Structure 1
Amino acid sequence: MVVESAGRLERVVAVDALAQSLGIRAGIGLSAALAFVNELDVHRRKPQAEAEALTALACWAQQFTPTVVIVEPAMLLLEIGGCLRYFGGLDALRGRVEAGLAALGYAAQTGCAPTPLAAGWRAEQGMAGAITELAGVRSGIAPLPLTVLRLDARRHEGLAQLGVSTLAELLALPRAGVGRRFGPEVGLWLDRALGVVADPRTPFVPPDRFVRCIDLDYPFEQVDVFVRLAERLLAELAGYLGGRGLGVQSVAFRFVYDALPASLLDVGFGRPLRRCDDMLAVLRERAGRIVLDAPVFAVELRAERLHELDGQPLSLLDQRQRHGDLPLLLARLRARLGDDAVCRIAAVPDHRPERAWRIAGDGDTGTLQPDLVLGERPGWLLPEPLALAVRDNRPWHDEPLRAIGRAERIESGWWDDGSMVRDYWQAVGPSGRRYWIFQDRHSLGWWLHGVF
């Protein structure tokens, strides 16, 4: 049961089926409700949290249409005429919206009509059928109760005295007489609902950054509870990103405790992502290493560094994106194993093999030279060159080795303490294994440096 303050009193504004079965109705005072049942699960209304949730839903809904209007306290208007074909028709689009809202944990009713008022009224009353033509609006709103007009008590009582309880009965009255007795606003609302008079609305403009916080009535300490909350937050983020044609390469979760300072959890994705499932997969890999310092009272998600993604394929299975999945794989490995357990390698302009590479960060644009990796040098070097025995004038490494191909002479490092003169060869043994060996031109000794 949900209650809100009305002056000094607290009034019931929403009840569940069990409370209704006990005789509790919206509109009565809390004390009256407690007279029915001594023990009730009472939740006090949080207007600010409701407004924040509605704004977050407006961001999420822009993945379906760029034109979203917030109607406080609890309604969104979506102009869908221009996107029906893209989503496969009205039924398909409506199904996606309703399924998405349910996945976010919202109980919602939808209504479809050519005018904002008609659509909103039908949604409030749970009328599932869609009105697709303006000519059908009059009959479509006729059965609705007079309460959808939000009249004040005086006008509502005056119409009730005339026997008017539905819009059909109101529409049957002479418009001029209704205007004189109850004011021009009544007729204006009807004309807007019927499409006779324009009903312009101010579209919602999304924020430049995504910030969403969920305050909890009851704290939690379990990581799996956080993951479920994160799934909801990431789904909202995915809708926001989809509506703006953006992606995000990293996000930050903020945990709010009672007595301790808030803590942060940064999650990187390797490359810009948009789909909730992709972002959630990385977070789940990280879940085993998440530590909550105390019971958590609120979770906030921030996504501030956004990237343009319009025109790029989003599916991880798209063949054109196969190489683009490597950063996501690295992000998942880091999430599971730790940031220091996975690294990238970048090339360094030095001919000496042991100095021709370095560990690179995520933002480093350096890469290994493809001709070195795929050509005559192996992709795997020993930590230190291994001295080889020589038998019958042939180097040995568990088997006799035979040099093949041409030699690559490396003469470098004379300007520092790493001077070398080496002749590198590819070599094979009877087993068929291929090695990278060199002969030091000073000592004439043979060394194993890499394996293909």
Structure 2
Amino acid sequence: MLWVALHLPQLSLQALPWSRAGLETLLPVAVVEQHRLLGANRAARALGVQVGQSVATALALLPQLVVQPRDEARERAFVATLALALAALTPKLNLQASGVLLEVRASLRLFGGVRCLLRRAQAIAHDCGAHVRLACAPTASAAWLLATSGSVRRRTLQSSHCARQLDRIPLGALDALLPLTPRQTELLQALGVQRLGELRALPRAGLQRRLGRALATTLDRAYGDASDPRPWFAPPERFEARRELLQRADDAAVLVAAIGALLPALGGWLQLHWHAATVLSLRLRHEHRREPVPDTVLRLQLSTPSRDIAQLALLWRERLQRHALAAPVYELILALEASVAHGGTPGELLPTAGGEGQGHAALLDRLVARLGPERVLRFEPLADHRPERAQRGVPVTETLRVPAEPPPGAPPRPAWLLEPPQPLASDALGRPLHGGLLRLCSRAERIEAGWFDGGLARRDYHVAEGSDHRLRWVYRERRADAPGNQGGWFLHGWFG
């Protein structure tokens, strides 16, 4: 087995809400627990604030310091969101209080080796807004010790090399696995034990009798001498992620950045469930003014199921840029409303940058997100012979009830119809004129329909070519009251 540990050394700070990337480095912020500073960001530390100071001392040094109480529930939610995003690498995840453990032995070949996989994990954590310390080792406890102890070399693949690395770790780092009692700490100090290697060198019988069996078992699990069973992370049955903003957002750029931190978790959830998204919703909670402002709910319906995070981020950006906010936003909730089973994309012998169908679907989704579903239509055929009533426009997000392909042997029909048809002049011989004499290129297609609804149409259609060599779709009315049973000419459509 090979374990990768992602430790969040500043989880209490990273779990706080942020409005935009980089704000945490400009605004001095500190997290407080029991009137002491549990954490302080770089901007606060640069101005003299230190972890462990009292709140009164810190505010005396820096009156503009933003003090936030520690929120353990928000920290757990942040770790769970990070675990969902990391599920894109492996389904075997184990949650810790301040990070995530991944068993990645079966995923090495898929991602191109350990180095590529670690870079991928680092990128996923960065997209989620998390600054992590990575380590890998043959055992879960060893990987977690290497990540939390601050060791310089945190990557080891062999058991023998891992044991040498663990021997150099200070004894205080063992608190990440098993906090020592004051009595155990005093006894080890009396024995002069300062590192794990020295603790492991003590006689096993005396170690268990004086310090307890749990400490000896913890050491064995870290060194690989005992099994280390871990409960796997179980993803929720329904995906919903929220992100609170530290400052109220009134422009789309801030909202796009906030959604970008939630989409990796959606991608991991879809991969764990072997699904692809079809309908997403985004709830924007507004800041109340004199009167309560109702939440804004935006829906994103995909023409083709997808779990491509880059595509979803692009669609949400297009959707938000054309939406006017009713009031500043202080929280976003991203939810998956509908999804379908999706086993992945079949591979190709010579893979291309993007398949023709996938590119067409992505273009349609982007047009819908930018223009709105009511402005991007596809044609649905109807049971009517009259061309103006033989089809109707429906949103591309809806499924056609009947196939759009014409029956075999059907006469040609243009996609561009004029509404209403344009009357044409004719010469002395009754031939149609449109910028010159039109040459009829097809036999007449006679249509007589509409007697049942009062819209009777009696026409003879032709494909006609003009002097500009463009093809037109023209018809001549057949009227019972006209001499020769013929009426005027009309231009009804253009061929592409």
**1:274, 1:314 within 8 Å by CA — same for their partners in 2?**
no
- The partner residue of 2:104 within 80, 91, 101 is 80
Pairing of 1:271-420 with structure 2 (within 5 A): 271-312=304-345, 318=352, 321-361=355-395, 362-366=397-401, 367-370=403-406, 376-393=412-429, 394-420=431-457
Change (3 A) 1:269 1:184: same
**Per the alignment, in what secondary structure is the counterpart of residue 83 of structure 1?**
helix
**Per the alignment, in what secondary structure is the counterpart of residue 297 of structure 1?**
strand
Pairing of 1:24-43 with structure 2 (within 5 A): 26-27=51-52, 29-31=54-56, 33=58, 40-43=65-68
- The partner residue of 2:213 within 179, 184, 189 is 184
**1:352, 1:412 within 8 Å by CA — same for their partners in 2?**
yes
- Quick one: which amino acid aligns to residue 168 of structure 2? P
Change (3 A) 1:374 1:49: farther
Deviates more, 1:319-328 or 1:138-147: 319-328
- Quick one: which amino acid aligns to residue 225 of structure 2? V
1:448 lines up with 2:491 in the alignment: yes
- The partner residue of 2:260 within 231, 245, 254 is 231
Q: Distance in 1 between matches of 2:420 and 2:52?
A: 80
**1:269, 1:279 within 8 Å by CA — same for their partners in 2?**
no
Deviates more, 1:287-296 or 1:379-388: 287-296
Q: Distance in 2 between matches of 1:349 and 1:42?
A: 68
**Per the alignment, in what secondary structure is the counterpart of residue 42 of structure 1?**
strand
Determine the structure 1 residue equivalent to 2:24: none
**1:61, 1:240 within 8 Å by CA — same for their partners in 2?**
no
Instruction: State the 1:28 CA deviation.
Output: 5.0
TM-score normalised according to structure 1 size: 0.91
- Deviation per CA, 1:223-262: give whole Å up to 9, x if none: 2111111121223322332343322123211122342332
Deviates more, 1:74-83 or 1:300-309: 300-309
- Deviation per CA, 1:342-385: give whole Å up to 9, x if none: 22211112221111101223223245325699961111111122
**Per the alignment, in what secondary structure is the counterpart of residue 374 of structure 2?**
helix
Q: Distance in 2 between matches of 1:16 and 1:156?
A: 31
Instruction: State the 1:96 CA deviation.
Output: 0.9
Determine the structure 1 residue equivalent to 2:471: 434
Deviates more, 1:180-189 or 1:15-24: 15-24
1:197 lines up with 2:231 in the alignment: no
- Quick one: which amino acid aligns to residue 426 of structure 1? V
**1:373, 1:379 within 8 Å by CA — same for their partners in 2?**
no
**1:227, 1:284 within 8 Å by CA — same for their partners in 2?**
yes
- Quick one: which amino acid aligns to residue 357 of structure 1? Q
- Deviation per CA, 1:140-189: give whole Å up to 9, x if none: 21111212222123212221222112111111111211111111111010
TM-score normalised according to structure 2 size: 0.83
Q: Which runs of 5+ in 2 are unaligned?
A: 1-28
**Per the alignment, in what secondary structure is the counterpart of residue 14 of structure 1?**
strand
**1:143, 1:167 within 8 Å by CA — same for their partners in 2?**
yes
Determine the structure 1 residue equivalent to 2:186: 157
Q: Which runs of 5+ in 1 are unaligned?
A: none
Instruction: State the 1:22 CA deviation.
Output: 7.4
Change (3 A) 1:268 1:41: same
Determine the structure 2 residue equivalent to 1:423: 460
Q: Distance in 1 between matches of 2:445 and 2:352?
A: 40
Deviates more, 1:256-265 or 1:228-237: 256-265
Deviates more, 1:353-362 or 1:329-338: 329-338
Deviates more, 1:319-328 or 1:156-165: 319-328
- Quick one: which amino acid aligns to residue 288 of structure 1? Q
Q: Distance in 1 between matches of 2:196 and 2:338?
A: 50
How many residues align? The count is 447
Change (3 A) 1:90 1:320: closer
The percentage of counterpart residues that share the same residue type is 34
Determine the structure 2 residue equivalent to 1:94: 118
Q: Distance in 2 between matches of 1:98 and 1:291?
A: 35
Deviates more, 1:143-152 or 1:196-205: 143-152
- Deviation per CA, 1:103-145: give whole Å up to 9, x if none: 3221100110111100011011243432212233321211112
- Quick one: which amino acid aligns to residue 324 of structure 2? V
Q: Distance in 2 between matches of 1:145 and 1:251?
A: 48
Q: Distance in 2 between matches of 1:122 and 1:375?
A: 74
Relative CO higher for 1 or 2, CA cutoff 8 Å, sep ≥ 6?
A: 2
- Deviation per CA, 1:69-103: give whole Å up to 9, x if none: 111x2110100001101100000100111122123
**2:85, 2:124 within 8 Å by CA — same for their partners in 1?**
no
Deviates more, 1:303-312 or 1:203-212: 303-312
Q: Distance in 1 between matches of 2:57 and 2:186?
A: 24
Pairing of 1:71-150 with structure 2 (within 5 A): 71=96, 73-127=97-151, 128-150=153-175
Change (3 A) 1:143 1:376: same
**Per the alignment, in what secondary structure is the counterpart of residue 236 of structure 1?**
helix
1:3 lines up with 2:38 in the alignment: no
